[in-house]
């Protein structure tokens, strides 16, 4: 046991923390499994994928819930093979229509995990509120106010708890307990703040007095050519400093802020969205690193070369050295303006315009589409609609796609297993057979198309 | 006399050229019906190579069986033999001398069927169902290539239980084709791998998929010097891409075309898009046939970029097609392809294999040679 513990200690920085903490046994198992090689894990994944598509009962959320929980425990480092964010997004999207799950603790838990994965969790929580998801659950309000607290917005954190209490969220004791804890933290801060000499003065000024270079701010332009670091990280970090007292001026727009912090108290006329919710258009959820448009690096120009006897046209690059932040509404996209001779390179063809996609936007769009389809809105789409004549939902239900033959093979295996059970139970009639048979059937159906014997 | 056990042997007969009644749309093209078709969906068809005199057709099905028919010159089909697997058969192929047939199945094995002795023995084993099997005849070696859902590509000398070579793929194989020295495998997540088979198989290139939807079928085509030069790739949403490996002008030479869709001109109703189930190239003319979930087959000329013919709609999807070695016969199968899931499956519905004269209809638009 000591060695297993030592092993965990060695790679603990690679283990992503979970909200609810990790079970030590599951963690150890996951780490040993990963060392041995991925096949046991892949088999289990396949089993889950099969179950997702074959499930016939009343509670499909159960399969998703178990799958996601297992993924979380088995992939402590996260990573692409876990398909975790894909799964989360699919699960969340799939049940947006199912009102019965709106106050199901498992579903709300999925949403909270989803929000954690997005860049702007606050938007997710607001969306949930607008849709009526989780309004009766204290976990929802607790998670939401935690987000506010992280950003130093104690007033909103407090009011979120109030809202929860007003709505009568259950369990109430838990809500009150967390509320009290928040209030305690706030008062402690105020007290410690009062104790210091500089008091509640904006702490930025404190740094100004020191002759050293400021930490975490914009880098000054260096050199003759005023080269600037392409991504300015300074501002976004300073806006998120925790424990920074902003009780005095919570609504003041932050300096150097490239993010427009949504303020619900301001009466902002929502420009777009004639659709369902009262707001739309959150900033991107996944970090898009190189958002800046390409610019000239140096003044040097390449001499015009000829290639295969044809002249190459090098276009002039974009003019501005920085792009002022524009909120992404219906912004026309980055169509590459190059006029590269197509005979040379078919890779760089003009990209078709596409909307900036964020997970939340995808969920909203999906829901909007479904509602439109349900309402049978004629002429809602300008382009002629196309209908795929195959069972799309079944094929693409999980994290990975299936082909039609895989689906059929799954069904074949399940039937085959049932036939085996039927023939074996008819030959011997012990009562314990039913459960043994059923589990054998489900085992072989879970074995699905790829594994010969699942290990679990 | 039926050699196929339970099935209605005499049945609808290969001689019924006058076909069925007008209300029955199971054979609207009035093609020749193969006698004693399998009892479940036909997954694959293959005609014998030119080394074997006459025409023999092999068909594998989801009823776990592989059947062999002799197709006589007068159009009559005679059932010859049958072999079983313990799982649905997904692919079949012939050896180059026409003495052996190789079958790949969901039971994770592949078998070699010696037609002379009518014995079948297992020659390959995978960790998952084998989706595709091909015979490779190289100057310095011969082997079987199997591509499976266990994400591996294995090469087998039929005399040894262990593979000669095993290559790892990024995803599950969905379809493959081999024309020496080129092999193309299309995988899940729209992957496309090209292998070169000279000396020994090795990965040649990974290609970005020209299609936006799941890959379903692939077929290699040859140039005028009879060398493989590119492939046609079909997707699950009514589109086929023609892709050359080393074209002089990729942007102009490679293209995709829509197929197996309904309501073409009528924009008021949504267009139904069907899966392309199989593609086959005519061995002489170089034109291609595609068959789809919509129950139609179409012939195309990829050089002239035109459609040559589209059939009437059959009442079931068409699941497989192939040409015989001289291109006179096109065989296609009509059975449920599971495109809409298990709810639309009717085990009582009969499955058919049809034979059509392909000599004239697949002539290219502008005769170049």
DSSP, residue by residue, A31-79 = HHHHHH-THHHHHHHHHHHHHHHH--SS-HHHHHHHHHHHHHHH-TT--
Mutant choice from A384, A408, A454 vs B, greatest count of B C-beta within 10 A: A408
Q: How far does the CA of residue A408 sit from the closest CA of chain B (Å)?
A: 7
Q: Which pLDDT belongs to residue B269?
A: 78
> Which residues are B185's β-sheet partners?
B176, B193
Chain B hits for A455, CB-CB cut-off 8 Å, are none
A149 against A206, higher pLDDT: A149
pLDDT in tens, A151-187: 888 888 888 888 888 888 888 888 888 889 988 988 8
* Low-confidence winner among A229-243, A429-443, B296-310 (lowest mean pLDDT): A429-443
How far from B240 is each of A183, B318, B319, CA to CA, in Å? 64, 16, 16
> Which residues are B332's β-sheet partners?
B321, B354
- Interface check for A371 against chain B (CB to CB < 8 A): the answer is no
Mutant choice from B44, B151, B172, B243 vs A, greatest count of A C-beta within 10 A: B172
* CB atoms closer than 10 angstroms to residue B54: 11
- Interface check for B260 against chain A (CB to CB < 8 A): the answer is no
Contact B275/A389, CB-based, under 8 Å?
yes
On the question of pLDDT at A278 being above 90, the answer is no
Give the confidence band of A232 by pLDDT, cuts at 50, 70, 90: low
Q: Which pLDDT belongs to residue A455?
A: 41
Strands of A238-296, DSSP E: none
- Interface check for B313 against chain A (CB to CB < 8 A): the answer is no
Contact B108/A452, CB-based, under 8 Å?
yes
Give the confidence band of A231 by pLDDT, cuts at 50, 70, 90: low
pTM of the model: 0.69
Contact B108/A384, CB-based, under 8 Å?
no
Of B307, B305, B291, the C-alpha closest to B339 is B291
Residues 6+ apart with CB under 8 A from A1: none
> Which residues are B202's β-sheet partners?
B196
Domain range B32-162+255-340+349-361, its CATH number among 2.130.10.10, 3.60.110.10, 3.50.50.60, 3.40.50.10800: 2.130.10.10
**Domain map of chain A by residue range?**
1-95, 98-190
> How many angstroms separate the CA atoms of A93 and A399, rounded?
13
User: Angle at Cα A140 formed by Cα A117 and Cα A120, nearest 5°?
Assistant: 30
pLDDT in tens, A11-70: 777 777 777 777 777 777 777 776 666 667 777 888 888 888 888 778 888 888 888 888
B295 against A337, higher pLDDT: B295
Q: Which pLDDT belongs to residue B218?
A: 97
* Low-confidence winner among A76-90, A404-418, B33-47 (lowest mean pLDDT): A76-90
Contact B128/A342, CB-based, under 8 Å?
no
Chain A hits for B174, CB-CB cut-off 8 Å, are 403
- Interface check for B90 against chain A (CB to CB < 8 A): the answer is yes
Residues 6+ apart with CB under 8 A from A401: A395, B188, B189, B214
**Which of B172, B272, B338 lies closest to A408 in CB terms?**
B338
DSSP-derived letter for residue A82 is G
User: Angle at Cα B84 formed by Cα B80 and Cα B90, nearest 5°?
Assistant: 100
Q: What is the mean pLDDT of residues A397-418?
A: 89
Give the confidence band of A299 by pLDDT, cuts at 50, 70, 90: low
Q: Which pLDDT belongs to residue B167?
A: 95
Of B195, B92, B120, B182, the C-alpha closest to B152 is B195
**Domain map of chain B by residue range?**
32-162+255-340+349-361
Of A59, A63, A118, the C-alpha closest to A85 is A118
A105 against A333, higher pLDDT: A105
Q: How far does the CA of residue B254 sit from the closest CA of chain A (Å)?
A: 10
Give the confidence band of A270 by pLDDT, cuts at 50, 70, 90: very low
The ipTM value here is: 0.89
Q: Helix (H) and strand (E) counts for chain B?
A: 1, 29
Q: Which pLDDT belongs to residue B248?
A: 92
On the question of pLDDT at A383 being above 60, the answer is no
On the question of pLDDT at A102 being above 90, the answer is no
Contact B128/A343, CB-based, under 8 Å?
no
How far from B327 is each of A154, B171, B306, CA to CA, in Å? 78, 34, 20
- Interface check for B129 against chain A (CB to CB < 8 A): the answer is yes
Q: Which pLDDT belongs to residue A438?
A: 42
Residue ranges for chain B with pLDDT beneath 50: 1-21, 368-369
Q: What is the mean pLDDT of residues A298-312?
A: 55
For residue A413, give the chain B residue with the closest CA: B87
The alpha carbon of residue A313 and the mean position of all alpha carbons in its chain are separated, in whole angstroms, by 42
Chain B hits for A411, CB-CB cut-off 8 Å, are 342
Contact B106/A451, CB-based, under 8 Å?
no
Across chain A, what does the average pLDDT equal?
68
Q: Which pLDDT belongs to residue B227?
A: 95
> How many cross-chain Cβ pairs, A to B, lie less than 8 Å apart?
94
**Which of A386, A403, A452 lies closest to B270 in CB terms?**
A386
Chain B hits for A405, CB-CB cut-off 8 Å, are 43, 90, 131, 338
> How many angstroms separate the CA atoms of B335 and B320, rounded?
9
Chain A hits for B270, CB-CB cut-off 8 Å, are 384-387
Query: Would you list the DSSP string of A306-375?
Result: EETTEEPPPPPPP--SS------SS-----------TTT-SSSPPPPP-PPP-HHHHHHHHHHHHHHHHH
Buried b vs exposed e over A396-430: b needs ≥16 C-beta within 10 Å? ebbbbbbbbbbbbbbbbbbebbbeebeeeeeeeee
Q: What is the mean pLDDT of residues A303-320?
A: 50
Domain range A98-190, its CATH number among 2.60.15.10, 3.40.50.980, 3.30.200.20, 1.25.40.430: 1.25.40.430
Residues 6+ apart with CB under 8 A from A316: none
Residues in chain A: 456
Q: Which pLDDT belongs to residue B276?
A: 96
Contact B88/A408, CB-based, under 8 Å?
yes
* CB atoms closer than 10 angstroms to residue A267: 6
A315 against B105, higher pLDDT: B105
Mutant choice from A369, A403, A416, A453 vs B, greatest count of B C-beta within 10 A: A403
How far from B348 is each of B39, B41, B88, B159, B335, CA to CA, in Å? 9, 11, 18, 41, 11
On the question of pLDDT at A434 being above 90, the answer is no
Residue keyed to tokens 């023999």: B56
Q: In what order do the strands lie in the sheet with B32-33?
A: B32-33, B352-357, B329-334, B318-323
Mutant choice from B89, B106, B345 vs A, greatest count of A C-beta within 10 A: B106
Q: Which pLDDT belongs to residue B363?
A: 92
Give the confidence band of A291 by pLDDT, cuts at 50, 70, 90: low
Domain range A1-95, its CATH number among 3.40.50.970, 1.10.3720.10, 1.25.40.430, 2.160.10.10: 1.25.40.430
Q: Which pLDDT belongs to residue A114?
A: 87
- Interface check for A449 against chain B (CB to CB < 8 A): the answer is yes
Q: Which pLDDT belongs to residue A425?
A: 80
Contact B214/A401, CB-based, under 8 Å?
yes
Chain A (100-159) residues lying within 8 Å, Cβ to Cβ, of chain B: none
Q: Exposed (0-12), middle (13-18) or buried (19+): which is A159, by Cβ within 10 Å? A: middle
Contact B339/A404, CB-based, under 8 Å?
yes
Specify whether the backbone of A388 is left (phi greater than 0), alpha (psi in -120 to 50) or beta: beta
Give the confidence band of A10 by pLDDT, cuts at 50, 70, 90: confident
């Amino acid at each position: 046991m000591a060695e297993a513990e030592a092993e965990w200690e060695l790679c603990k920085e690679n283990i992503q923390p979970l909200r609810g903490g990790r079970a030590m046994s599951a963690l150890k198992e996951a780490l040993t499994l990963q060392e041995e090689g991925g096949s046991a894990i892949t088999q289990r994944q396949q089993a889950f994928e099969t179950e997702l598509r074959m499930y016939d009962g009343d509670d499909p959320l159960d399969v998703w819930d178990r799958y996601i929980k297992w993924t979380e425990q088995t992939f402590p480092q996260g990573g692409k093979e876990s398909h975790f964010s894909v799964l989360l997004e699919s699960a969340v999207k799939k049940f947006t229509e199912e009102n019965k799950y709106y106050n199901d603790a498992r579903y709300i838990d999925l949403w909270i995990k989803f929000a954690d994965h997005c860049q702007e969790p606050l938007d997710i929580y607001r969306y949930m509120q607008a849709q009526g998801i989780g309004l009766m659950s204290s976990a929802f309000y607790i998670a939401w106010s935690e987000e506010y607290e992280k950003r130093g917005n104690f007033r909103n954190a407090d009011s979120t708890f109030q809202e929860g209490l007003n709505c009568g969220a259950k369990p109430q004791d838990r809500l009150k307990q967390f509320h009290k804890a928040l209030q305690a933290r706030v008062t402690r801060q105020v007290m410690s703040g009062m104790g210091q000499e500089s008091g509640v003065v904006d702490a930025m000024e404190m740094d100004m007095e020191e002759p050293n270079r400021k930490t975490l701010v914009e880098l000054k332009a260096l050199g003759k050519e005023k080269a600037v670091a392409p991504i300015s990280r300074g501002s976004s970090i300073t806006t998120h400093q925790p424990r920074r007292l902003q009780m005095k001026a919570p609504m003041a727009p932050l300096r150097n802020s490239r993010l427009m912090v949504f303020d619900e108290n301001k009466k902002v006329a929502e420009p777009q969205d004639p659709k369902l919710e009262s707001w739309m258009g959150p900033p991107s959820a996944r970090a898009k690193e190189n958002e800046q448009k390409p610019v000239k690096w140096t003044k040097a120009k390449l001499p015009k070369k000829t290639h295969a006897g044809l002249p190459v046209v090098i276009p002039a690059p974009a003019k501005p050295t920085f792009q002022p932040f524009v909120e992404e509404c219906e912004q026309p996209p980055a169509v590459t303006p190059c006029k590269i001779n197509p005979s040379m390179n078919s890779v760089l063809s003009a990209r078709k315009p596409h909307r900036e996609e964020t997970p939340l936007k995808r969920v909203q769009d999906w829901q909007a589409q479904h509602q439109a389809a349900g309402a049978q809105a004629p002429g809602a789409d300008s382009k002629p609609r196309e209908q795929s004549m195959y069972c799309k939902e079944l094929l693409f239900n999980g994290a990975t796609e299936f082909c039609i033959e895989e689906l059929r093979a799954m069904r074949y295996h399940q039937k085959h297993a049932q036939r085996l059970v039927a023939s074996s139970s008819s030959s011997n009639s012990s009562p314990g057979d039913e459960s043994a048979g059923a589990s054998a059937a489900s085992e072989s159906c879970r074995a699905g198309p790829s594994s010969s014997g699942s290990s679990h | 006399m039926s050699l196929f056990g339970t099935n209605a042997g005499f049945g609808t007969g290969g001689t019924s050229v006058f076909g069925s009644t007008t209300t029955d749309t199971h054979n609207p093209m009035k093609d020749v019906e193969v006698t004693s078709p399998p009892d479940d969906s036909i997954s694959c068809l293959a005609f014998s190579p030119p080394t074997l005199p006459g025409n023999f057709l092999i068909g594998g099905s989801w009823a776990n069986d592989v059947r062999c028919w002799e197709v006589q010159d007068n159009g009559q089909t005679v059932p010859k033999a049958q072999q079983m697997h313990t799982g649905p058969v997904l692919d079949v192929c012939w050896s180059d001398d026409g003495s052996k047939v190789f079958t790949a199945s969901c039971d994770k094995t592949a078998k070699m069927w010696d037609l002379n002795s009518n014995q079948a023995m297992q020659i390959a084993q995978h960790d998952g169902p084998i989706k595709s099997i091909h015979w490779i005849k190289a100057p310095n070696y011969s082997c079987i290539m199997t591509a499976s859902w266990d994400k591996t590509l294995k090469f087998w000398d039929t005399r040894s239980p262990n593979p000669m070579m095993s290559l790892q793929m990024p995803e599950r194989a969905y379809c493959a084709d081999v024309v020496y020295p080129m092999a193309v495998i299309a995988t899940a997540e729209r992957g496309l791998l090209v292998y070169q088979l000279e000396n020994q198989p090795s990965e040649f290139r990974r290609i970005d998929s020209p299609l936006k939807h799941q890959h379903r079928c692939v077929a290699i085509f040859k140039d005028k010097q009879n060398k493989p030069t590119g492939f046609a790739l079909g997707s699950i949403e009514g589109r086929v891409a023609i892709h050359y490996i080393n074209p002089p002008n990729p942007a102009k030479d490679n293209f995709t075309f829509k197929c197996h869709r309904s309501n073409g001109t009528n924009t008021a109703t949504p267009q139904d898009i069907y899966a392309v189930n199989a593609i086959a190239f005519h061995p002489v003319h170089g034109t291609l046939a595609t068959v789809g979930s919509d129950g139609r087959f179409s012939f195309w000329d990829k050089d002239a970029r035109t459609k040559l013919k589209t059939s009437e709609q059959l009442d079931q999807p068409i699941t497989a097609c192939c040409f015989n070695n001289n291109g006179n016969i096109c065989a296609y199968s009509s059975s449920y392809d599971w495109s809409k899931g298990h709810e639309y499956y009717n085990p009582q519905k009969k499955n058919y294999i049809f034979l059509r004269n392909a000599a004239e209809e697949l002539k290219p638009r502008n005769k170049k040679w």
